Structure 1
Amino acid sequence: MLVLAALMIEKVGIIVIVAFLLSQIKSFRQVIHNENNWGEKVILILIFGAFGMISNYTGIEIERGTIVNSGWLVGIDPDNAIANTRVMGVVIGGILGGPVVGIGAGLIAGIHRYSLGGFTAIACSLAVVVAGVCSGYFSRKQLKRDKKITPIYAAKLGMTLEAVQMIIILAFAKPFDEAWALVQVIGIPMIVVNGLGMFLFMYIIQSIVRDEERARANQTSQAFYIADQTLPFFRQGLNTHSCKEIAEIMLKLTDADAVAMTDEHCVLAHVGAESDHHIPQGELTTGLTKKVLETGRIAVAKSKEEIFCSHSDCSLEAAIVLPLKIQNKTAGTLKMYFIKPSKLDDVQQQLAEGLANLFSTQFELAEAERQTKLLKDAEIKALQAQIHPHFLFNSLNSISILCRTDAQKARKLLLELSAYLRGNIQGAKQMLIPLDKEIENVKSYLSLEQTRFPDKYEIEFEIENDLEKILIPPFTLQPLVENAINYAFTSIVGIGKIKIQIYSLNNNLRIVVSDNGKGIPINKIELLGKQTMISKKGTGTAIFNISKRLSGIYNGKAKLEITSELNRGTSILISIPLDSKGVLHQNVEGIYS
């Protein structure tokens, strides 16, 4: 029995070596990793069926409990049997590929075993098919319960199915006495050794799978780290500065000897080896880059001839060129060069392919972000422009009346209007202006109104010191003051009072415009600033425009609040975020130039 066990361990060693060599083949690893389709199942059936056949050929022939042949078997005496590792290959096939692979591999190994002969031929053929079906079924059941197929599980399953084979031999092999004598000799060695073989087989496969997963995890981590480091520069678009920064990061974090970036027409950056003739702003010097720009597909070169560099003495002998795309259109390339082709291995190639997708996504998102900012900028300017006619028409109407009654006042009013419009034209060129400029515009407007209606309004300013240079959107104060003058005091007795308070609180600039006017009905307050309204006395356009501009410029962090009480007055609060230094909140940084 010990001699038989030693010989079987030798046979298991052959199978394990074959399994190890097979596991080094990329296509085999891919088949094992995937949810097998029918084509892959056929491949697995053939592979593990072949394992069963090899086990039959390398089996140990037994005659009445005695070893008669431990060499290569091509046939067995009708009264003899064999001890082998046939079940091991079939069970592993069932574990990896499921019942279909198990039964397929079992049929191949079983038919081949039957062709060799011996008094256990039928029993052994049936047993290996049963082993294949059972291994596939129980393994899938194990996976459905979210449990892993470990080497220990494979060993236990294999030993159990090997024991089942012994039972089948006792049940079907004739005569029974010889079957029983055979099982006494081969039972324990085959159960133990096949279990050991299955443990080693699965351990090898799982070790390789773990190594691949670890390598992929490292690649993914490295790719995301590179993407994170390069993102700020992709946001700047493809230019010589951003591309140089990206190329330097890539050179530092990969094994490449040189990294370059291009747009559709020229080299934007090249760092590393051969920078002398791969010059930024120069024409594209490699045919490989032109090919990628034309096809939009990743290209790999493993020789100088494939790179097509126009300089014959260029030391770069391998390269991978990645297309950078926006909406499926190739807008540029990123290239990794290597002096030695051996450095451009599968790891570097897979990393580069992953980066190509990440970079294209970053590039496309950056372009989308830029377009969104341009659109928001245009929308804000359009809203801002709507306020100008609103005040201009009122002023011109007043001037036309004064021209008939008081030319001197009309002249003064024109000068005030000229100064006001000059300030507004300057402010209209920017999204933000200093607070003191906005206050000057408001005072010009009030001067115009008080010239028209002397002693009708009182204006009070309360402005905290050191806030004069805070940046705010132009036309934030004047429309609110204008609304108060035009609508708040239409039916009150006495002097209309407007109070403007500007101060900082809780890292916010707060602007409060309040009046002692007639107030606003509560049902209208809920709509003001959210939409325009059709009304005999106004549309709420000014407040709506201010609200929209604040929302667009400050990304929802500014707010406009209205409180009012009928016959007591109205107060409008505007709150704008400040940073820790008391200046404009950084969220608007980069929108304006």
Structure 2
Amino acid sequence: MYELMLIMLERLGLIVMLAFIATRLRFFRNMISPAVLSRKQQYTAIIFFGAFGIIGTYSGVTFQAEPFLLQRLKTDIFNHEAIANFRVIGVVLGGLFGGYKVGTAAGLIAGGHRMLLGGFTTFPCGIATIAAGISAAWIRAKNPEITAKPLLVFLIGAGAEMLQMALIVLLARPYTESLALVQHIALPMILANGIGCALFLLIIKSVAKEEEKAAAVQSQKVLRIAEQTLIHLKSGLTPQSADKVCTILYKELNLKGAAIDDGKNQLSHIGGLSSAAVSAPLNSRDTIIGTLKFYFHSQKDITSLKKETLSGLANLLSSQLELAEADRLYNLAKDAEINVLQAQINPHFLFNTLNTVISLIRINPEKARTALRSLSKFIRQNLYSTTVSLQTLEDEVEHVKSYLSIEQIRFEDRIAVSYQIDDSCLHNKLPPLTLQPIIENAVKHGFKGKIEKCELKVTIRDYQDNIALYIEDNGSGVSEDNLVNLAADVSRNTEGSGIALYNINKRLQMTFGSDCGLNFKSRPDYGMTVYFNIPKIS
């Protein structure tokens, strides 16, 4: 038994080496990255894990219990011989990562191959291999987080071998030889295969961590590029700004070349051309206004991560162009007071958000991506608001949620938000950017310096003739003296947010009548409630 244990551990090193080599290949990385495998990836996984099970068989040793004899594995097995092997490693991992289809098919491949080799244990070993793949997939379905726990994967691999030993005793004949076989090989095979499954999992996890680290590096690079290009794209998409952006892309991404066109003419081209190229559209308000072209040195440089990174970069540059368009609309607007409110995107808010994203990239990439998505949605909604005089409450609420999603991340989830909204109200219309500045005022001023949990509540109620809207916070509030004059002259009674509240109050009254202006309730240290009514307008 001890001699077999040493041989099994020695052969296990070969299996681990092959597993490590496999994880370096692109097809393997593409296969384990998505949470749900595509049909093509399932076929790839079946072939890979099935083949790995066959390799596990051939990496074992033939074994004869009476008399005790170990040999190198041959292509055929005599009736009195069996195989001490690592077959279940590939099958178990296939079930854990690929589900029922991959686990079952890999088990059939590896188990069917084992049956063809012969030996008096051929049938129970083949059945046990198939059962191992199905069992691993069942465990994964019951506990999706199992692949993050190496100890449990060790137990699954060891359990699969225990099942095989039990089937050998029950089904293999003659009984005396099967019992003697199990007595000799059970412990070495259970330990070796359990350890092999755990080691294979750790190797796969290391690949996943490498992917996350690479994604974080790429995200940081994208934000650095976005920060550099922001000043140049303020003037819009021109030959001069395109030339500056292409130069930045060429240097930062180590490209062979970079180009930008406006859909009709090429605005700029830096570097050389290559057949290994990726194109990404530049959009403004859902309209394609240009194309970014990235030329790589070779096709192997274009990974799926690179494509995703370039797509995100194009979206950020599109947002910057939309910012430039917002500035242009602002300068052309005749009614400066209203357009100041509608076109404004606080640069401090933008850069604070970007700095927050940069800090999250290394420690929580998923949260960083969520913040970027919310920022893009927030900016797009701000820009859309400059083109309409009324918009639905549904759009207003979505805009508020994008803003608060960013602030909750920035405040490390110290802001608790609750919504009580009647769905029947969502198609009603009101002036754009009515709710968000009120909520921003609560966050910036009401919660300023607050140590305890910050709570914000948005309520929209449907009544027979009108709709009531309430924004409540548990912030610092204002004194009774200030509250008396707040609605009458908000421009002088709020710190820094007076113009925004004043414009909201004025636009509500101009649109719906003098009875539909802002109202306030507050006490110091007990927060503030801003509320108003609007008539039903679809």
Q: Same fold (TM over 0.5)?
A: yes
- Measure the CA separation in 2 of the matches of 1:194 and 1:10: 12
Aligned AA (1:124)? C
- Change over 3 Å in CA distance of 1:324–1:57 after alignment to 2: same
1:192 Cα deviation from its structure 2 partner: 0.6
Q: Is residue 362 from structure 1 mapped to residue 332 from structure 2 by the alignment? A: no
Residue pairs, 1:433-448, within 5 angstroms:
none
Moved more, 48-57 or 220-229: 220-229
What is the CA deviation profile of residues 109-161 of structure 1, one whole-angstrom value per residue up to 9, with x for unaligned ones? 11111111111111111111111110111022111xx5553222211111111
Residue pairs, 1:180-579, within 5 angstroms:
180-239=179-238, 242=241, 246=245, 254=252, 256=254, 264=262, 298=278, 324-326=282-284, 327-331=286-290, 333=292, 349-350=306-307, 353-354=310-311, 356-366=313-323, 368-370=325-327, 372-373=329-330, 376-377=333-334, 556=504
Moved more, 36-45 or 171-180: 36-45
1:264 and 1:332 in contact (8 A); partners too: yes
- Change over 3 Å in CA distance of 1:124–1:557 after alignment to 2: same
Gaps of 5+ in 2: 339-484, 493-497, 511-538
1:558 Cα deviation from its structure 2 partner: 7.0
- Change over 3 Å in CA distance of 1:217–1:367 after alignment to 2: same
- Measure the CA separation in 2 of the matches of 1:9 and 1:559: 78
Aligned AA (1:353)? L
- Measure the CA separation in 2 of the matches of 1:201 and 1:229: 42
TM-score (norm 1): 0.51
Q: Is residue 110 from structure 1 mapped to residue 69 from structure 2 by the alignment? A: no
Q: What SS does the aligned partner of 2:119 have?
A: coil
Aligned AA (2:110)? A
1:8 Cα deviation from its structure 2 partner: 1.2
Q: What SS does the aligned partner of 1:70 have?
A: strand
- Change over 3 Å in CA distance of 1:208–1:67 after alignment to 2: farther
1:373 Cα deviation from its structure 2 partner: 2.7
- Change over 3 Å in CA distance of 1:109–1:369 after alignment to 2: same
Aligned AA (1:46)? I
- Measure the CA separation in 2 of the matches of 1:229 and 1:166: 64
What is the CA deviation profile of residues 477-503 of structure 1, one whole-angstrom value per residue up to 9, with x for unaligned ones? xxxxxxxxxxxxxxxxxxxxxxxxxxx
- Measure the CA separation in 2 of the matches of 1:552 and 1:335: 42
1:98 and 1:136 in contact (8 A); partners too: yes
- Measure the CA separation in 1 of the matches of 2:489 and 2:229: 35
2:79 and 2:119 in contact (8 A); partners too: yes
Gaps of 5+ in 1: 269-282, 300-321, 382-504, 513-549, 563-593
- Measure the CA separation in 1 of the matches of 2:296 and 2:238: 20
- Corresponding residue for 1:10? 10
2:146 and 2:153 in contact (8 A); partners too: no
- Corresponding residue for 2:158? 159
What is the CA deviation profile of residues 433-485 of structure 1, one whole-angstrom value per residue up to 9, with x for unaligned ones? xxxxxxxxxxxxxxxxxxxxxxxxxxxxxxxxxxxxxxxxxxxxxxxxxxxxx
Report the RMSD for the aligned CA atoms in angstroms.
4.4
1:345 Cα deviation from its structure 2 partner: 7.3
2:292 and 2:314 in contact (8 A); partners too: no
Q: What SS does the aligned partner of 2:148 have?
A: coil
Aligned AA (1:53)? I
- Change over 3 Å in CA distance of 1:28–1:555 after alignment to 2: farther
- Corresponding residue for 2:48? 47
Q: Is residue 168 from structure 1 mapped to residue 167 from structure 2 by the alignment? A: yes
What is the CA deviation profile of residues 172-210 of structure 1, one whole-angstrom value per residue up to 9, with x for unaligned ones? 111221111111100000001111111111111110111
1:51 Cα deviation from its structure 2 partner: 1.3
- Change over 3 Å in CA distance of 1:94–1:148 after alignment to 2: closer
- Measure the CA separation in 2 of the matches of 1:198 and 1:121: 22
- Measure the CA separation in 2 of the matches of 1:212 and 1:334: 25
1:139 and 1:149 in contact (8 A); partners too: no
Greater Cα radius of gyration, structure 1 or 2: 1
1:235 Cα deviation from its structure 2 partner: 3.0
- Change over 3 Å in CA distance of 1:66–1:371 after alignment to 2: farther
Q: Is residue 97 from structure 1 mapped to residue 134 from structure 2 by the alignment? A: no
- Corresponding residue for 1:396? none
- Corresponding residue for 2:29? 29
1:30 Cα deviation from its structure 2 partner: 1.1
Aligned AA (1:167)? A
1:9 Cα deviation from its structure 2 partner: 1.7
What is the CA deviation profile of residues 238-268 of structure 1, one whole-angstrom value per residue up to 9, with x for unaligned ones? 346655665676577x254898775549999
- Corresponding residue for 1:385? none
Q: What SS does the aligned partner of 1:361 have?
A: helix
Q: Is residue 137 from structure 1 mapped to residue 138 from structure 2 by the alignment? A: yes
1:324 and 1:359 in contact (8 A); partners too: no
- Measure the CA separation in 1 of the matches of 2:258 and 2:39: 44
Q: What SS does the aligned partner of 2:72 have?
A: coil
1:57 Cα deviation from its structure 2 partner: 2.1
1:221 Cα deviation from its structure 2 partner: 2.9
1:90 and 1:128 in contact (8 A); partners too: yes
- Measure the CA separation in 2 of the matches of 1:258 and 1:553: 51
- The structure that is helix-richer by fraction is 2
- Measure the CA separation in 2 of the matches of 1:61 and 1:355: 54
Q: Is residue 20 from structure 1 mapped to residue 20 from structure 2 by the alignment? A: yes
Q: What SS does the aligned partner of 2:62 have?
A: strand
Moved more, 98-107 or 178-187: 98-107
- Corresponding residue for 2:39? 38
